[in-house]
A and B are shown apart, each in its own frame.
Chain A
Amino acid sequence: MSERELSMSEQDVTMSERELTTGERELTTGEHELTTSAPNREPRLDVLATGLTETRPVCDLLSAQLDAVIDETENAAIGFIDRVHAIDGAVDLLQSRMGELVSQTDRQADVLEQMARDNAAAIEDVRVSIADRDRKVRELVGELRELERYGRGIRAVAATSKVLGLNALIQAAHAGDAGASFQVVANRIQDLAGDSDVAARELEHGITDLTARIMATIGDESKGAGDSQSSQFEHRLGAIADGQATLSAHVGELRRSVEDANGATQTLAELATGIAADVQFQDITRQATQQVQQALKRLGDRSELLIAYADGRAEAEEIESTLNALEQMSGDYVIQRQRAIHAAVASGHDGDLSKDGPAIELF
């Protein structure tokens, strides 16, 4: 026992001379005496203990670095979620505006379609009215031409009267003095015949001129549809209707474009939501990293135990009870991939990911 006490005190002296920094360390191997096994083991234990001294600080430092990694990834993930949330807000607003635009273009398209139908009906009404008017006017022209015939009749009567008057003059001349008054009447008849003929000619001429002007206005059917005023009017109305139809078609295209844009914003909203969910990776890596930290802590604990053993402060049995690091790590895993990696490293073969249960299971 006294030798042991002596060796313990000498170890204490040596321990007090050691520098416990990562920089300089003095190894003293001179004066220790072993109380157990071989006499020359003490220096090797001392070297071992000295070498293990850095292990705990290194493990603590690594764990602190991993804490920083966890914090950084968490901050990044939160920032990411915040941005996605902002995108969601913008997408919501865009969808709302798109919805309003779709409704407005729908209403405009409906209005234009109704206007086009109404205009087409109005154009048809006008065309029918114009055609009816033209028909009636042609009927009137026909009746006027009938009057022309009467004029010719009057002229025929006037010509006959003139002949009769001439005949009467001849007869009156043959009658001498007795025919003087008859001669006056015959002259008057001739005058009247002449006036009638003039009036009838003027009437004919007037009717011909009037019918020509009327036909010029409504258009002569024999010359084709392009020349008539009514066909020109129809043509202009048709151009207006065509313009409205073109506008209606453009509004229809606009509506389709707006609907496509609306669909795209919906897709964008779904993508944004999906991205927010993808951030779950941060939690998975956090848990995996925390298990590495646990293993580092156990490594640090064991190194301190080994140092204690080398200093005679711990027994071999305590160390033996810690020789299950791999088993403990395996027990800590929560992700099948971790187990697969563990198995692969341990066995030298690829891990089996197929032993997982289903990703979604309802009980």
Chain B
Amino acid sequence: MRTALLVDDSKTILMSLSEVLKRAGYTVQTAGDGEDAMAQINAGAKPSVIITDLNMPKMNGIELIRAARKAPAIRFTPILMLTTESEESKRAEARQAGATGWLVKPVQPADLLRVLDQVIPKT
């Protein structure tokens, strides 16, 4: 069973993408910002993939990626940035922090699921 951790300060993003992922058979966990996500991870959550927004209060997406890459349990977990941002400098920063990929909102459900299939290791 694949688990996805969705991190975004937008309620509508969390709800709409949860719907997409659940219909595709994923178990979905959500967090309102990077701090909330790291709290769940430190409490033992081990998602198959993390999908995070960039601009969030308390801890933004890039800070989350850096923190997650230091957590042994999820160091190699695929982390996708899902954001309205499209600037190359931010993209490069995310890549350097350890992001697995970058998706620009709005993302089509079929594209998101296809990318997840590509980045989540097959067991």
Report the minimal beta-carbon distance from A88 to chain B, rounded to whole angstroms: 7
Would A363 and B100 count as touching, CB distance under 8 A? Answer: yes
B12 at the interface (CB under 8 A from A): yes
For B111, the chain A residues whose CB sits under 8 A away are: 359-360
Q: A287-B55, A287-B84, A334-B83 are in contact. Are A280 and B105 (CB under 8 A)?
A: yes
Q: How far is the CA of A120 from the CA of B54 in the complex (A)?
A: 72
For B11, the chain A residues whose CB sits under 8 A away are: 74, 78
B120 at the interface (CB under 8 A from A): no
Q: Contact string, B81-121, partner A, CB cutoff 8 A, digits 1/0?
A: 00111111001000100011111111111011001001100
Q: Which listed segment binds B: A14-22, A47-55, A104-112, A268-276?
A: A268-276
Report the minimal beta-carbon distance from A311 to chain B, rounded to whole angstroms: 36
Interface footprint category on A: 20 to 34
Would A277 and B17 count as touching, CB distance under 8 A? Answer: yes
For B55, the chain A residues whose CB sits under 8 A away are: 287, 334
Please tell me which one of the listed residues A273, A356, A363 contacts residue B20 in the complex, with CB atoms under 8 A apart.
A273
B39 at the interface (CB under 8 A from A): no
Q: How far is the CA of A335 from the CA of B105 in the complex (A)?
A: 9
For A274, the chain B residues whose CB sits under 8 A away are: 108-109
Q: How far is the CA of A283 from the CA of B23 in the complex (A)?
A: 22
Would A277 and B103 count as touching, CB distance under 8 A? Answer: no
Would B104 and A359 count as touching, CB distance under 8 A? Answer: yes
Please tell me which one of the listed residues A78, A88, A280, A357 contacts residue B23 in the complex, with CB atoms under 8 A apart.
A88
Would B19 and A360 count as touching, CB distance under 8 A? Answer: no
For A245, the chain B residues whose CB sits under 8 A away are: none
Q: A269-B23, A273-B19, A276-B20 are in contact. Are A362 and B106 (CB under 8 A)?
A: no
Q: How far is the CA of A362 from the CA of B111 in the complex (A)?
A: 12
Would A336 and B86 count as touching, CB distance under 8 A? Answer: yes
Q: Contact string, A274-291, partner B, CB cutoff 8 A, digits 1/0?
A: 101111111110110000
Q: A284-B84, A334-B85, A357-B86 are in contact. Are A74 and B101 (CB under 8 A)?
A: no
Q: How far is the CA of A274 from the CA of B24 in the complex (A)?
A: 12
B16 at the interface (CB under 8 A from A): yes
A-B contact pairs, 21 of them (CB 8 A): A88-B19, A88-B23, A276-B15, A276-B19, A277-B106, A277-B107, A278-B106, A279-B16, A280-B107, A283-B12, A283-B84, A286-B10, A287-B55, A334-B84, A334-B86, A356-B104, A357-B86, A357-B102, A361-B91, A361-B103, A363-B100
Interface residues of B (CB under 8 A from A): 8, 10-13, 15-17, 19-20, 23, 54-55, 83-88, 91, 95, 99-109, 111-112, 115, 118-119
A273-B109, A280-B106, A363-B102 given; name 14 further pairs at CB < 8 Å.
A78-B15, A273-B20, A274-B108, A276-B20, A276-B109, A279-B15, A280-B17, A283-B12, A335-B84, A359-B111, A360-B101, A360-B107, A361-B101, A362-B101
